[in-house]
């Protein structure tokens, strides 16, 4: 574990440099523990793949104090207990214009499109973290056989609800946005709803399955 | 009891100090680029520290006051006039009904701010008035201001006239030196790159906006490539891109990034960066976290003293 300042108002606690369930569990557990028992001046604990960044008000506390709190009083051993008991199902439509990169993934994998879909839909994916766009979940891990790299030239517009693959990651565009992931399908489910008190459907630690509709 | 937007300007948004506690959901924090400017003009008017202000760029917003109200402008100097009379930054001033505020020519800095005494009547989204253009939420209808928009004033009032002296206002320059603290991958810089980062100047490219500034300068290299996975980033994080160039993340930054974090601009110096535009330059000076915290605490003490003084004078 390594702790370093991210400027004078945040500290990052790093558990590793790779995508692993263990590092991600520790990150989510630490963020959750801090959110439940925030220290004075803490604004938010932001979990990522293998780290937590704690944002704080520097007029109330300082990096040295934050580091001591993290080093001395935080237990990340009890992994998270309250992830949803059921897996979240995301219906996706597969069609020519909703799956513009299916042929590209099939080419990459040297498989038939139907085989690519079978592999993609057979897996349960974990939400490792949110970022990039409001409610955008970085999920994994995609089967190596279909882990096609990002497009060389990103699209200027990817429609809302598009489900993409980028290497071993999969994700859903919650809003229309530029993007370079291989789009395999599209969902009508609302991933991000600014009018709701809980604007994002997915949270770190959730599990997701895609279901063809 | 309202403000009429006669001309919207190129990019004018409602911002406060940012949506601070939803980054775990990927919601970028937004907020004013120049926090010192917003905080100082709110202090002048006796407003809350986090009261929403208008942030504009040149060609800038043109507004008409629908009612008498004290207001203040700060940040960039774009030749502001109130009904044809030049007015200055960092002073609380009185507008009469029908007075028109416009910005006539860029003189110093990129982003001026307008605050009104009693604040704008803007609904909060997730605890903040700041405009999130990506989500289309917050601020006024989640968008930049449009011609003929009307913004209600919450409690317009006249306040005594005050001016903030130059000892407290930011020392804007087109080529500032900003202080940084080392980032997670600073120690991986080659000796030559570390020296270049801390002694050569960098130019702000035209590919720069409220999300981030792309810099052009000497190529920066790490001793060896490091496997990185995305982690949270913040306002002021300086990332090293694969082509050896740097990007500084600004107020509308994405919440996470996967590039090496070379350094972070200290919060006291972010306002200097916030007022730069394309072809301006910046140099970096490394300080310890203790020094960054000392400078930040000193500013807070001075702001507190200023607020106390203004409240005592009424």
Which helix or strand (DSSP H or E) is residue B117 part of?
none
- pLDDT score at B225: 85
Instruction: Name which residue leads in pLDDT, A76 or A197.
Output: A197
SS3 B154: coil
Chain A CB contacts of B265 under 8 Å are 7
For the cut 80, the answer to whether the pLDDT of residue A79 exceeds it is no
Predicted complex ipTM = 0.95
Distance from the Cα of A194 to chain B's closest Cα (Å) equals: 7
- pLDDT score at A84: 56
- pLDDT score at A77: 55
For the cut 70, the answer to whether the pLDDT of residue A85 exceeds it is no
User: Which of A4, A6, A7, A32 should we substitute to test contact with B (largest number of B Cβ atoms within 10 Å)?
Assistant: A7
Chain A CB contacts of B300 under 8 Å are 59
Residue burial A111-122, b: 16+ Cβ < 10 Å; e: rest: bebeebbebbee
Residues B71 and B8: their CA atoms lie apart, in Å, by 18
CB contact under 8 A, A199 and B25: yes
Chain B CB contacts of A43 under 8 Å are 20-21
**Average pLDDT in the A67-89 region?**
72
- pLDDT score at A152: 87
Chain B CB contacts of A44 under 8 Å are 20-24
Instruction: Name which residue leads in pLDDT, B146 or A86.
Output: B146
- pLDDT score at B226: 81
- pLDDT score at A83: 56
Phi and psi at residue A34, to the nearest 5°: -65, -40
Residues of chain B with pLDDT under 50: none
**Average pLDDT in the A15-41 region?**
92
Strands (E), B241-294: 246-249, 256-257, 261-265, 281-286
B134 touches chain A (CB under 8 A): yes
Distance from the Cα of A112 to chain B's closest Cα (Å) equals: 31
Residues B221-275 have pLDDT tens digits of: 999 988 789 999 999 999 999 999 999 999 999 999 999 999 999 999 999 999 9
Residues B180-202 have pLDDT tens digits of: 999 999 999 999 999 999 999 99
Nearest to A140 by CA among A118, A178, A166, A115: A166
Tell me the pLDDT band of A39, cut-offs 50, 70 and 90. Answer: very high
Supply the mean pLDDT for chain B: 96
Chain B CB contacts of A31 under 8 Å are 24
**Average pLDDT in the A114-131 region?**
97
- pLDDT score at A76: 58
- pLDDT score at B311: 83
Nearest to A198 by CA among A130, A107, A117, A96: A130
- pLDDT score at A195: 92
CB contact under 8 A, A44 and B23: yes
Distance from the Cα of B262 to chain A's closest Cα (Å) equals: 10
B120 touches chain A (CB under 8 A): no
B15 touches chain A (CB under 8 A): no
**Average pLDDT in the A149-173 region?**
95
- pLDDT score at A78: 54
CB contact under 8 A, A19 and B293: no
* B39 Cα distance to chain centroid: 10
């Amino acid at each position: 574990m390594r702790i370093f300042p991210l400027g004078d108002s945040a500290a990052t606690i790093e558990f590793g440099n790779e995508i692993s369930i263990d590092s991600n569990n520790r990150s989510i557990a630490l963020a959750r523990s801090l959110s439940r028992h925030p220290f004075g001046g803490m604004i938010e604990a932001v979990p990522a793949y293998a780290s937590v960044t704690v944002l704080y008000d520097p007029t109330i506390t300082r990096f040295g104090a934050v580091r001591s709190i993290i080093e001395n009083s935080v237990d990340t051993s009890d992994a998270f207990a309250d992830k949803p008991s059921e897996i979240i199902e995301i219906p996706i439509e597969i069609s020519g214009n909703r799956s513009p990169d299916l042929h590209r993934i099939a080419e990459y994998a040297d498989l038939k499109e139907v085989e690519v879909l079978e592999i993609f839909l057979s897996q349960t994916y974990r939400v490792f973290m949110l970022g990039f766009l409001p409610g955008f979940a970085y999920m994994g891990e995609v089967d190596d056989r279909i882990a096609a790299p990002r497009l060389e030239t990103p699209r200027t517009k990817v429609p809302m609800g598009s489900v993409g693959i980028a290497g071993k990651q999969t994700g859903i565009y919650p809003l229309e946005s530029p993007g370079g992931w291989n789009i395999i399908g599209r969902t009508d489910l609302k991933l991000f709803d600014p009018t709701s008190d809980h604007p994002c459907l997915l949270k770190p630690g959730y599990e997701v399955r895609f279901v063809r509709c | 009891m309202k403000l009429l937007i006669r001309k919207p300007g190129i990019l004018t948004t409602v911002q406060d100090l940012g949506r601070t506690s939803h980054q775990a959901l990927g919601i970028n924090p937004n907020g004013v680029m120049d926090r010192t400017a917003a905080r100082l003009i709110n202090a002048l008017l006796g407003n809350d520290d986090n009261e929403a202000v208008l942030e504009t760029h040149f060609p800038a917003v043109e507004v008409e006051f629908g009612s008498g109200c004290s207001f203040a402008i700060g940040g960039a100097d774009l030749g502001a006039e109130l009904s044809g009379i030049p007015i200055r930054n960092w002073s609380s001033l009185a507008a009469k009904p029908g007075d028109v505020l416009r910005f006539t020519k860029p003189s110093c800095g990129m982003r001026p701010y307008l605050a009104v005494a009693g604040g704008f009547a803007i609904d909060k989204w997730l605890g903040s008035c700041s405009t999130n253009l990506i989500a289309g939420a917050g601020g006024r209808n989640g968008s930049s201001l449009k011609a003929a928009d009307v913004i209600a004033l919450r409690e317009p009032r006249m306040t005594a006239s005050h001016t903030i002296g130059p000892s407290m206002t930011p020392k804007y320059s087109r080529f500032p030196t900003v202080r940084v603290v080392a980032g997670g991958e600073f120690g991986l810089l080659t000796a030559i790159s570390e020296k270049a980062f801390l002694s050569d100047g960098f130019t702000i490219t035209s590919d720069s906006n409220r999300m981030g500034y792309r810099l052009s300068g000497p190529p920066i290299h790490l001793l060896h490539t490091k496997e990185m996975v995305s982690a949270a980033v913040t306002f002021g994080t300086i990332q090293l891109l694969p082509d050896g160039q740097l990007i500084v993340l600004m107020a509308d930054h994405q919440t996470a990034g996967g590039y090496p974090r070379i350094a972070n601009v200290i919060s006291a110096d972010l306002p200097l960066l916030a007022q730069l535009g394309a072809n301006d330059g910046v140099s970096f000076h490394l300080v310890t976290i203790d020094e960054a915290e000392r400078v930040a605490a000193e500013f807070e003490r001075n702001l507190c003293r200023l607020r106390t003084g203004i409240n005592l004078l009424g």
